[in-house]
Structure formats: structure tokens, C-alpha cells
Structure 1
């Protein structure tokens, strides 16, 4: 019997699921080796668990999310979180630093109908996770590598170094050294192929912290390149705000 793959969504934009759908030829080959038992973005056909591998996109922002992710964990032999929302709470985790009740009053005409938690948290804050694949969205090559690795019973070959390594690999001139452009590349997890620096823009951290992060050393460089304290705070508070905040607390 073929192993079963399930894909689930919590609070997110669907971008990481769309990355899987965008794999096209690779996805067709994968579909021949596994049974896609639950993937509502692709098909309404659903088979109940247990599942050999479950991918979860999105953060936990409601009590229902928390209950649901526990049920997914119980039905999954392996659980992998995909994307910044599932691994770090996502951009919606900016609520963690604000008054959510005020947000509801300002945004919604009938805020009493909106049920939400005060925080947006990663899946790993609620259940055990076998692997976290970062990115906003995730990289398609890394996603296929993680799926095939778990189905083959081996460890995923996903490097934990920084974006700076990818700049060196593709021969991109350092935007900070050459142009004084603020860049989070030295502290950001590789996976994007150093896309932004290749177009003369600084990395803004969409893959979250790398395996070796030294934010206290980077922040003076950001200030040297024209950022004040508020600018630095905003620079770090994007897709992976809570992950970078944890690094600052260490």
C-alpha cells in the first residue's frame, strides 16, 4: 500500500500550498508514489487518517485551530510544518505586540462576532513537530526534498546556513559592503537562492533565523547604514517577527 500524504491549512494565505501545486511535474511523479489522502487546495476527495506524512500550513490563531492541530498530530505518523506562519506565527504574529481587542474594534463592524486568540503562534507551540520548513512561501525544491525524505525514511537535506552563503554561491556582490544597503542576509536561513540581493535589495528575512544567528552584532551595522531604533524594529517585525524576537532575547 502506498504511503499517505495529507496537507492541512490553519491561518495563512495558502501560498505554501500553492508552492506544492506549482511543482507540476514533480507533483505528478510524487502522486504516482503516494496516496494524497487530504489536500483540499487540490481536491475535495478526502480519506480519513491515519496519515504517514502531514504538512501543516498556517499559524494557530483561534481555539479551534489549537484543537484541530492536536487532532492532526494524533492522526499523523510524521508532521511537518511549512512556511513562516506555521513555523514562527507569520506576519499575523504582529498581533502579539498589540491590543487585539482594539484591532477588532477598528477593523470589524461587528467585532463581537469575531472569535480569536490574543496571539498567533507556531504549530510547535502546541504539538510536537518532526520538521520545520521555513519560508514565505517555502522553496519548492526544499519542499519536495522534505516530502521525499520523510517518505523514504531519511533526514531531509535542508541546509541551516545563512543567505550570505547563497550570495557567495551565485557570485552576488554583497549589497551591504558595496552599497551600504541594510540586509538581514547574515542572520536569515537560506532557501530563497538570495533572490533579493541578486536584484540589489537587502534580504528582509522571509526564511527566518538561520542556524547561527548573531543579531547583536548585526544591529550596529543596520544603524550604520541609516536605520534608527524604530527602523530596526520594523525591519525585524515582518514574516518571522516572533522568531527574530526570540533570538534577541537569548
Structure 2
């Protein structure tokens, strides 16, 4: 039947999640030997038409052309998986959803009439059916390889589904909120980053988006007890996953 065909696609993003795949190095070479990479412009000039067994999509949908292209990719893909905060939650560019778009264009571009974008920066799932989502800014290399392997094998991927606090506890990392009063979104953020910030004494910035059932109201109450103002709390939620519903709603509550 031939090797499974994989395509990697870019929309509005920084390319960081595609670079995470390239950073897999030796594991990527093994993957490339087991599949046929039919479309991956970050790494190869090879461009083959579909259908594809698996499409990995990075980036948010920000233009009318994007909306058309993602539907074409979905139609050509047996499985479609979104990777990273941009594709799963609108990305850092979703911050513009909280402002007047015309005013923003006027403040940045000398001829704003030439800028044709959608009113909002939206996740891929707002436009087409998605088979799985891999969160993070950028995604974890380990989780990316696990998701690709599981998708091709037709099984459920083994991905973190707990809060960042669980990852800290497993690693023996001292809680920065308890020990030093450092604001941290760990209790409401999905694990998966490898405990990057808390292990060096910094609070979690929510790179992997809200964990299922995130109690953002209780989180904000704790942040207020640490001395944060409403504006500071709002800004903390409006980061890489500003468009994720629990974070977006809690930020709006403090605006």
C-alpha cells in the first residue's frame, strides 16, 4: 500500500512548531524513513498533491484565503491535527480580537486599506473538523512524535491531560506561588512543557493553554491575594493562548 503520506502546513504563525518537528533530529530521520513527507515547505521543496494520510497544521486562520485553503486541506486529509497555540487557540495574534481592528491597522500601516484580514484570528477548529489538537507555544517534541505515531497507528495519543502543577510535583519542583509569592498560571494550565519556567523560579505563563475544567475565577482570586491588579491579571491571561475560551473570558472580566 506504500508508506503513509504526511503533509505539514503553515498558516499565520512564527514557524516555531514546525521547527520543533525539525528539532526532533534522529527521531525525525526515523520518522522520515517510515513515512512519505509529501508537503513540508519548512524542510523540503517537494510538493505533492493529496490525498494525505495525515496533515499537521500550524497557525491560525486570519484571512479569507486562509479559510478557503484550510477547507481544501481538510478535504484532502484522512486525518487533520492542529499543532501549537496558534492553530488550537488563535495564537498571540488573537490579541487583536480584543481591540478595534480598523484602529490597529491605522496605527501600524501607512495604507490600511490594503490590509485584508478577517475580523478575528481564529483556531482551525472554527473552520473545519479537527481529529486531534496538540497544544503549546511551541509544541513539545516528545508530544509531537507521540501524536504522529498514534495518528498513523490509529490509536489515541498518550498526551498530558493534567494541570502544570502535577508536572511540578512529579519533578519535585518547589511551588513558586507558595514559596516566593510569584504569580503563576500553573493551576489552570495544561502540562506538557517539561516544567520549563517553575523549575527556574518563574511562574507559568500558560503556554500550553487552559487545562480541562480550569477554575480561572479561583486562580484570579489567588492572584489578587498576591497583590496583582485587575489590569495585571488581564494581561497575564492575554498571552500565547489569549483566544482560548477560559482565558479569554477571565481576561475580559478584569478589563
Supply the distance in 1 between the matched residues of 2:187 and 2:194 (Cα, whole angstroms). 14
Supply the distance in 2 between the matched residues of 1:212 and 1:197 (Cα, whole angstroms). 22
What is the match of residue 98 of structure 1? Answer: 99
Q: What do residues 205-249 of structure 1 show as CA deviations (whole Å, max 9, x unaligned)?
A: 010001231111111110111111111000000111121345649
Gap runs ≥5 in structure 2? none
Check the 8 A contact 2:186/2:204 in 1, yes or no: yes
Instruction: Sort the Cα spacing of 1:233 and 1:246 in 2 relative to 1 into closer, same or farther, 3 A.
Output: closer
Supply the distance in 2 between the matched residues of 1:131 and 1:24 (Cα, whole angstroms). 24
What is the match of residue 236 of structure 2? Answer: 235
Gap runs ≥5 in structure 1? none
Check the 8 A contact 1:215/1:247 in 2, yes or no: no
What is the match of residue 31 of structure 2? Answer: 30
What is the match of residue 9 of structure 2? Answer: 8
What is the match of residue 217 of structure 2? Answer: 216
Residue correspondences, number: 249
Please provide the CA RMSD for this pair.
1.1
Supply the distance in 2 between the matched residues of 1:112 and 1:218 (Cα, whole angstroms). 41
Where 2:34 maps in the other structure, the secondary structure is: coil
Q: TM-score, normalised by structure 2?
A: 0.96
Q: What do residues 168-187 of structure 1 show as CA deviations (whole Å, max 9, x unaligned)?
A: 11110000011111100000
Supply the distance in 2 between the matched residues of 1:61 and 1:51 (Cα, whole angstroms). 24
Q: What do residues 110-164 of structure 1 show as CA deviations (whole Å, max 9, x unaligned)?
A: 2122111110000000000000100000000000000000111111100210110
Supply the distance in 2 between the matched residues of 1:140 and 1:216 (Cα, whole angstroms). 32
Instruction: Sort the Cα spacing of 1:141 and 1:9 in 2 relative to 1 into closer, same or farther, 3 A.
Output: same
